[in-house]
Amino acid sequence: MEKYERKGQIKYTRTGTPTLLQYADEMPGVPLQNIWTDIPPVNPQARERVGYPTQKPESLLERIVTASSNAGDIVLDPFCGCGTTIAVAERLKRQWVGIDISPTAVNLMRRRLLEATNGAVDAKLIGMPTSEVDLKRLKHFEFQNWVLQQIVATPSARKTHDMGIDGLSFMYHEPVQVKQSEKVDRPVVDKFFTAIKRTDKDTGYVIAFSFTRGARNEVARLQREEGIKIVLITVAELLLASDAITRPDREPTFDVAKPSGWRGPSRDHKRLLQALKERAGLPPIQAPPANTMPSGKALVDSVRDS
Protein backbone atom coordinates (compact mmCIF):
# COMPACT_ATOMS: atom_id res chain seq x y z
CA MET A 1 0.00 0.00 0.00
CA GLU A 2 2.86 2.35 0.84
CA LYS A 3 4.34 1.83 -2.62
CA TYR A 4 1.01 2.61 -4.32
CA GLU A 5 0.45 5.49 -1.91
CA ARG A 6 3.76 7.04 -3.01
CA LYS A 7 2.74 6.64 -6.70
CA GLY A 8 -0.60 8.36 -6.00
CA GLN A 9 -2.55 5.25 -6.90
CA ILE A 10 -4.53 4.99 -3.70
CA LYS A 11 -7.75 6.98 -3.58
CA TYR A 12 -9.94 7.22 -0.52
CA THR A 13 -13.72 7.37 -0.52
CA ARG A 14 -15.52 9.89 1.67
CA THR A 15 -15.74 7.31 4.45
CA GLY A 16 -12.01 6.61 4.18
CA THR A 17 -12.04 3.28 2.34
CA PRO A 18 -8.87 2.99 0.20
CA THR A 19 -9.21 1.91 -3.46
CA LEU A 20 -6.41 1.13 -5.86
CA LEU A 21 -6.37 3.00 -9.17
CA GLN A 22 -5.36 0.64 -11.97
CA TYR A 23 -4.41 1.69 -15.49
CA ALA A 24 -5.27 -0.54 -18.46
CA ASP A 25 -1.81 -0.15 -20.05
CA GLU A 26 -0.14 -1.50 -16.90
CA MET A 27 -2.09 -4.76 -16.97
CA PRO A 28 -1.05 -7.56 -19.32
CA GLY A 29 -4.70 -8.64 -19.86
CA VAL A 30 -5.77 -11.87 -21.56
CA PRO A 31 -5.23 -12.23 -25.35
CA LEU A 32 -8.48 -12.68 -27.31
CA GLN A 33 -9.45 -16.27 -27.93
CA ASN A 34 -11.14 -17.78 -31.01
CA ILE A 35 -14.62 -17.17 -29.66
CA TRP A 36 -15.61 -13.56 -29.01
CA THR A 37 -18.58 -13.11 -26.72
CA ASP A 38 -17.98 -9.56 -25.57
CA ILE A 39 -19.50 -7.78 -28.60
CA PRO A 40 -23.31 -7.80 -28.62
CA PRO A 41 -25.30 -7.79 -31.90
CA VAL A 42 -26.54 -4.44 -33.24
CA ASN A 43 -29.24 -3.16 -30.88
CA PRO A 44 -32.64 -2.49 -32.58
CA GLN A 45 -32.49 1.14 -31.37
CA ALA A 46 -28.79 1.70 -32.21
CA ARG A 47 -27.88 4.75 -34.29
CA GLU A 48 -25.66 2.62 -36.51
CA ARG A 49 -28.57 0.31 -37.41
CA VAL A 50 -29.67 0.61 -41.05
CA GLY A 51 -32.07 -2.36 -41.02
CA TYR A 52 -30.04 -4.80 -43.13
CA PRO A 53 -30.95 -8.32 -41.99
CA THR A 54 -27.39 -9.49 -41.35
CA GLN A 55 -25.81 -6.20 -40.25
CA LYS A 56 -22.75 -6.62 -38.01
CA PRO A 57 -21.83 -4.23 -35.21
CA GLU A 58 -19.23 -1.58 -36.03
CA SER A 59 -17.30 -2.45 -32.85
CA LEU A 60 -16.72 -5.98 -34.22
CA LEU A 61 -15.35 -4.70 -37.52
CA GLU A 62 -13.34 -2.08 -35.68
CA ARG A 63 -11.54 -4.84 -33.79
CA ILE A 64 -10.90 -6.86 -36.95
CA VAL A 65 -9.71 -3.90 -39.03
CA THR A 66 -7.51 -2.53 -36.25
CA ALA A 67 -5.95 -5.91 -35.51
CA SER A 68 -5.19 -6.74 -39.12
CA SER A 69 -4.23 -3.49 -40.88
CA ASN A 70 -2.59 -0.09 -40.51
CA ALA A 71 -3.78 3.34 -41.58
CA GLY A 72 -3.47 3.67 -45.38
CA ASP A 73 -3.75 -0.09 -46.03
CA ILE A 74 -6.49 -1.42 -48.31
CA VAL A 75 -9.33 -3.36 -46.67
CA LEU A 76 -11.47 -5.61 -48.91
CA ASP A 77 -14.87 -6.98 -47.92
CA PRO A 78 -16.27 -9.05 -50.81
CA PHE A 79 -19.59 -9.75 -48.99
CA CYS A 80 -20.07 -6.24 -47.72
CA GLY A 81 -23.85 -6.15 -47.02
CA CYS A 82 -24.83 -2.70 -45.82
CA GLY A 83 -21.20 -1.62 -45.63
CA THR A 84 -20.19 -1.95 -41.98
CA THR A 85 -16.62 -2.81 -42.96
CA ILE A 86 -16.13 0.13 -45.28
CA ALA A 87 -17.76 2.60 -42.87
CA VAL A 88 -15.33 1.48 -40.16
CA ALA A 89 -12.35 1.34 -42.55
CA GLU A 90 -13.06 4.90 -43.67
CA ARG A 91 -13.22 6.08 -40.05
CA LEU A 92 -9.93 4.29 -39.27
CA LYS A 93 -8.26 5.96 -42.29
CA ARG A 94 -7.88 2.82 -44.37
CA GLN A 95 -8.55 2.63 -48.08
CA TRP A 96 -11.28 0.15 -48.89
CA VAL A 97 -13.19 -1.86 -51.49
CA GLY A 98 -16.66 -3.27 -50.76
CA ILE A 99 -18.37 -5.84 -53.00
CA ASP A 100 -21.90 -7.19 -52.87
CA ILE A 101 -24.01 -9.12 -55.34
CA SER A 102 -27.09 -7.08 -54.33
CA PRO A 103 -27.63 -3.58 -55.79
CA THR A 104 -29.91 -2.89 -52.79
CA ALA A 105 -26.93 -3.49 -50.50
CA VAL A 106 -24.62 -1.36 -52.66
CA ASN A 107 -27.03 1.59 -52.56
CA LEU A 108 -27.26 1.24 -48.78
CA MET A 109 -23.45 1.20 -48.49
CA ARG A 110 -23.16 4.35 -50.54
CA ARG A 111 -25.76 6.16 -48.51
CA ARG A 112 -24.28 4.97 -45.22
CA LEU A 113 -20.88 6.35 -46.16
CA LEU A 114 -22.34 9.66 -47.27
CA GLU A 115 -24.19 9.98 -43.99
CA ALA A 116 -21.22 8.89 -41.89
CA THR A 117 -18.96 11.45 -43.55
CA ASN A 118 -21.49 14.28 -43.90
CA GLY A 119 -21.44 13.91 -47.65
CA ALA A 120 -17.63 14.06 -47.95
CA VAL A 121 -17.16 10.49 -49.22
CA ASP A 122 -19.24 9.34 -52.18
CA ALA A 123 -18.27 5.81 -53.17
CA LYS A 124 -17.52 5.08 -56.79
CA LEU A 125 -20.07 2.45 -57.85
CA ILE A 126 -19.04 -0.13 -60.41
CA GLY A 127 -21.29 -2.70 -62.09
CA MET A 128 -24.64 -1.31 -60.98
CA PRO A 129 -27.62 -1.75 -63.35
CA THR A 130 -27.63 0.99 -66.00
CA SER A 131 -29.91 -0.39 -68.72
CA GLU A 132 -33.22 -2.18 -69.19
CA VAL A 133 -31.31 -5.37 -70.00
CA ASP A 134 -29.45 -5.17 -66.65
CA LEU A 135 -32.71 -4.54 -64.80
CA LYS A 136 -34.48 -7.46 -66.47
CA ARG A 137 -31.73 -9.74 -65.22
CA LEU A 138 -32.14 -8.77 -61.55
CA LYS A 139 -33.99 -11.07 -59.19
CA HIS A 140 -37.52 -9.83 -58.59
CA PHE A 141 -36.82 -8.64 -55.05
CA GLU A 142 -33.74 -6.74 -56.21
CA PHE A 143 -35.60 -5.18 -59.14
CA GLN A 144 -38.40 -4.00 -56.91
CA ASN A 145 -35.97 -2.51 -54.40
CA TRP A 146 -33.92 -0.91 -57.12
CA VAL A 147 -36.99 0.89 -58.50
CA LEU A 148 -38.18 1.95 -55.04
CA GLN A 149 -34.71 3.24 -54.19
CA GLN A 150 -34.61 5.05 -57.52
CA ILE A 151 -37.79 6.99 -56.76
CA VAL A 152 -36.91 7.38 -53.06
CA ALA A 153 -40.09 5.50 -52.07
CA THR A 154 -40.72 3.77 -48.76
CA PRO A 155 -40.99 0.00 -49.25
CA SER A 156 -44.27 -1.46 -47.97
CA ALA A 157 -44.61 -3.87 -45.11
CA ARG A 158 -45.91 -7.26 -46.22
CA LYS A 159 -49.56 -6.47 -45.39
CA THR A 160 -49.91 -3.64 -47.93
CA HIS A 161 -47.61 -5.50 -50.30
CA ASP A 162 -50.19 -8.30 -50.47
CA MET A 163 -52.72 -5.77 -51.76
CA GLY A 164 -50.40 -4.95 -54.66
CA ILE A 165 -48.81 -1.88 -53.08
CA ASP A 166 -45.04 -2.36 -53.10
CA GLY A 167 -44.14 1.07 -51.79
CA LEU A 168 -45.29 4.60 -51.05
CA SER A 169 -43.96 7.55 -53.02
CA PHE A 170 -41.75 10.19 -51.45
CA MET A 171 -43.59 12.98 -49.60
CA TYR A 172 -47.10 12.36 -51.05
CA HIS A 173 -47.10 8.69 -49.89
CA GLU A 174 -49.03 7.57 -52.96
CA PRO A 175 -49.16 3.83 -53.70
CA VAL A 176 -46.55 2.43 -56.07
CA GLN A 177 -46.60 -0.98 -57.74
CA VAL A 178 -43.52 -2.43 -59.42
CA LYS A 179 -43.76 -5.17 -62.07
CA GLN A 180 -40.69 -6.76 -63.59
CA SER A 181 -42.61 -7.66 -66.75
CA GLU A 182 -43.55 -6.57 -70.26
CA LYS A 183 -47.11 -5.94 -71.52
CA VAL A 184 -48.71 -5.37 -68.15
CA ASP A 185 -52.42 -5.69 -68.84
CA ARG A 186 -55.80 -4.50 -67.65
CA PRO A 187 -56.31 -6.97 -64.73
CA VAL A 188 -53.19 -5.56 -63.04
CA VAL A 189 -54.63 -2.05 -63.35
CA ASP A 190 -58.00 -3.16 -61.97
CA LYS A 191 -56.42 -4.91 -58.98
CA PHE A 192 -54.27 -1.89 -58.24
CA PHE A 193 -57.34 0.35 -58.51
CA THR A 194 -59.01 -1.73 -55.76
CA ALA A 195 -55.87 -1.40 -53.61
CA ILE A 196 -55.77 2.40 -54.08
CA LYS A 197 -59.46 2.69 -53.20
CA ARG A 198 -58.71 1.13 -49.82
CA THR A 199 -56.30 3.99 -49.07
CA ASP A 200 -57.14 7.68 -48.70
CA LYS A 201 -55.25 8.53 -51.93
CA ASP A 202 -56.59 9.18 -55.41
CA THR A 203 -53.36 8.61 -57.33
CA GLY A 204 -51.07 5.62 -57.77
CA TYR A 205 -48.16 4.57 -60.01
CA VAL A 206 -47.37 1.32 -61.80
CA ILE A 207 -43.81 0.88 -63.07
CA ALA A 208 -43.15 -1.92 -65.59
CA PHE A 209 -41.21 -2.56 -68.79
CA SER A 210 -44.29 -2.02 -71.00
CA PHE A 211 -48.09 -1.81 -70.87
CA THR A 212 -50.81 -3.02 -73.25
CA ARG A 213 -53.26 -0.72 -74.97
CA GLY A 214 -55.98 -2.36 -72.83
CA ALA A 215 -54.17 -1.27 -69.65
CA ARG A 216 -53.89 2.32 -70.92
CA ASN A 217 -57.58 2.42 -71.92
CA GLU A 218 -58.56 1.10 -68.50
CA VAL A 219 -56.48 3.80 -66.81
CA ALA A 220 -58.33 6.45 -68.85
CA ARG A 221 -61.71 4.92 -67.94
CA LEU A 222 -60.91 4.76 -64.22
CA GLN A 223 -59.88 8.39 -64.18
CA ARG A 224 -63.01 9.42 -66.08
CA GLU A 225 -65.53 7.28 -64.24
CA GLU A 226 -64.02 6.75 -60.80
CA GLY A 227 -61.83 9.81 -60.33
CA ILE A 228 -58.77 7.67 -59.54
CA LYS A 229 -55.59 8.44 -61.43
CA ILE A 230 -53.24 5.56 -62.15
CA VAL A 231 -49.99 6.65 -63.79
CA LEU A 232 -48.29 4.01 -65.95
CA ILE A 233 -44.55 4.55 -66.19
CA THR A 234 -42.24 2.38 -68.25
CA VAL A 235 -38.77 1.58 -66.95
CA ALA A 236 -37.30 3.41 -69.96
CA GLU A 237 -39.26 6.55 -69.03
CA LEU A 238 -38.17 6.22 -65.42
CA LEU A 239 -34.50 6.05 -66.42
CA LEU A 240 -34.79 8.93 -68.89
CA ALA A 241 -36.73 11.10 -66.43
CA SER A 242 -34.25 10.33 -63.67
CA ASP A 243 -31.31 11.43 -65.83
CA ALA A 244 -33.17 14.49 -67.12
CA ILE A 245 -33.94 15.58 -63.56
CA THR A 246 -30.67 14.78 -61.80
CA ARG A 247 -28.10 15.20 -64.56
CA PRO A 248 -29.52 17.70 -67.05
CA ASP A 249 -26.09 18.99 -68.14
CA ARG A 250 -24.00 15.89 -67.58
CA GLU A 251 -23.46 12.49 -69.16
CA PRO A 252 -26.55 10.32 -68.52
CA THR A 253 -26.10 7.42 -66.09
CA PHE A 254 -28.50 5.17 -67.93
CA ASP A 255 -28.12 3.56 -71.29
CA VAL A 256 -31.64 3.65 -72.68
CA ALA A 257 -33.21 4.38 -76.10
CA LYS A 258 -35.76 7.20 -76.13
CA PRO A 259 -39.29 5.87 -76.76
CA SER A 260 -41.02 7.52 -79.73
CA GLY A 261 -42.73 10.70 -78.68
CA TRP A 262 -40.51 11.20 -75.57
CA ARG A 263 -40.56 14.91 -74.79
CA GLY A 264 -38.80 14.90 -71.44
CA PRO A 265 -40.23 14.16 -67.99
CA SER A 266 -43.98 14.76 -67.65
CA ARG A 267 -45.64 16.37 -64.63
CA ASP A 268 -46.36 12.90 -63.25
CA HIS A 269 -42.72 11.84 -63.67
CA LYS A 270 -41.61 14.97 -61.85
CA ARG A 271 -44.07 14.45 -59.01
CA LEU A 272 -42.84 10.88 -58.55
CA LEU A 273 -39.17 11.76 -58.91
CA GLN A 274 -39.02 15.12 -57.19
CA ALA A 275 -37.15 13.64 -54.23
CA LEU A 276 -34.25 12.90 -56.58
CA LYS A 277 -33.74 16.55 -57.21
CA GLU A 278 -34.07 17.48 -53.56
CA ARG A 279 -31.65 14.83 -52.47
CA ALA A 280 -29.27 15.17 -55.41
CA GLY A 281 -30.07 11.67 -56.60
CA LEU A 282 -29.17 9.87 -53.40
CA PRO A 283 -30.83 6.56 -52.69
CA PRO A 284 -32.65 6.43 -49.33
CA ILE A 285 -30.85 5.05 -46.30
CA GLN A 286 -33.67 2.88 -45.06
CA ALA A 287 -33.61 -0.81 -45.86
CA PRO A 288 -36.93 -2.52 -46.65
CA PRO A 289 -38.83 -3.57 -43.51
CA ALA A 290 -37.45 -6.79 -42.04
CA ASN A 291 -40.62 -8.73 -42.83
CA THR A 292 -40.20 -8.11 -46.56
CA MET A 293 -36.48 -8.89 -46.64
CA PRO A 294 -35.17 -12.37 -47.30
CA SER A 295 -33.26 -13.85 -44.39
CA GLY A 296 -29.49 -14.07 -44.55
CA LYS A 297 -29.90 -17.74 -45.46
CA ALA A 298 -32.40 -16.95 -48.26
CA LEU A 299 -29.95 -14.42 -49.71
CA VAL A 300 -27.16 -16.96 -49.73
CA ASP A 301 -29.47 -19.68 -51.13
CA SER A 302 -30.71 -17.39 -53.91
CA VAL A 303 -27.15 -16.83 -55.02
CA ARG A 304 -26.44 -20.55 -54.88
CA ASP A 305 -29.48 -21.18 -57.16
CA SER A 306 -28.36 -18.70 -59.81
Ligand X SMILES: C[S@@+](CC[C@H](N)C(=O)[O-])C[C@H]1O[C@@H](n2cnc3c(N)ncnc32)[C@H](O)[C@@H]1O
Q: Please list the alpha-helical segments (H only) found in 247-294.
A: 267-278
Residues 6+ away with beta carbon under 8 Å from 81: 52, 54, 55, 56, 100, 105, 109
Q: Which region among 196-204, 231-239, 253-261, 294-302 touches ligand X (by CB under 6 A)?
A: 294-302
Strand order in the sheet with 203-208: 154-155, 167-168, 175-178, 203-208, 229-234
Rounded to an integer, what distance in angstroms lies between the CA atom of residue 134 and that of residue 127? Answer: 10
Q: Which stretch binds ligand X (CB under 6 A): 47-55, 160-168, 246-254, 270-278?
A: 47-55
Chain centre to alpha carbon of residue 182: 26
Part of the chain binding ligand X (CB under 6 A), chosen from 13-21, 50-58, 142-150, 246-254? 50-58
Shortest spacing between CB 25 and ligand X, in angstroms = 31
Indicate the residue among 115 and 278 with the shorter CB distance to ligand X: 115
**Residue 262 identity (one-letter amino acid):** W
Q: Which is nearer to ligand X, 15 or 306 (CB)?
A: 306
The SS3 assignment for 190 reads helix
N-term to C-term CA, the chain: 69
Residue number, 13 or 291, with CB nearest to ligand X:
291
CA 44 vs. chain centroid, Å, equals: 17
Residue 64 found at the interface with ligand X (CB under 6 A) = no
Q: Is 84 in the site for ligand X (CB under 6 A)?
A: yes
Check residue 207 for interaction with ligand X (CB under 6 A).
no
Per-residue interface string for the shown chain with ligand X, residues 242-281, x marking contact by CB under 6 A: ----------------------------------------
Q: What's the rounded Cα separation, in Å, for the pair 153 and 205?
A: 11
With binding defined as CB under 6 A, does residue 39 bind ligand X? no
- Binding stretches for ligand X (CB under 6 A): 52, 54-56, 78-79, 81-82, 84, 99-102, 105, 296, 299-300, 303
